[in-house]
Amino acid sequence: MARPRKGRRVCGLPQINRFGPLSEAAEGKQIVLTVDEYETIRLIDLERMIQEECAESMGVARTTVQAIYDSARKKLADSLINGRVLVIEGGDYKLCDGRGGRCGGRGCRRQGSAADMPYKR
């Protein structure tokens, strides 16, 4: 029996979740970037965290962050190079509530309270 996936802590959902070329020809060619992949890109590339800090912030192992980050970078490159629409949605995540030991710290963008929010899939 497979081990259940652990929800990754995310400190806020993106305000804009669709990016890509303006042409209608690209509409059918979309790539889905999960919310946890988005959070990993945000923490490592925008907040300049190292993978260990990112892993601690998200509540997962560093090797998990590395795998998520690699997947996200590949999707971003595919979208940019091949002109495909990028949509941010889904994934295994839980919005932080700002009350945990790691929440509210560096890189946290708490957007409202979501203490009892179930894991998303």
Query: Has residue 121 been placed in a domain?
Result: no
CB 35 within 8 A of CB 93: yes
| List of residues 6+ apart from 110 with CB closer than 8 A | 11, 12, 96, 97, 98, 103, 104
User: What pTM value is reported for the model?
Assistant: 0.76
- Could you list the residue range(s) of the whole structural domain that residue 77 is in? 8-14+26-95
Residue 101 lies in a domain: no
Answer yes or no: is 90 within a domain: yes
The answer as to whether 21 is a domain residue is no
Indicate whether 88 belongs to any domain.
yes
Q: Look up the CATH number of the domain holding residue 78.
A: 1.10.10
Segment-wise mean pLDDT, segments of 10 residues, the chain, 121 residues:
74 85 72 96 95 93 96 96 92 76 56 38 42
Residue 48 lies in a domain: yes
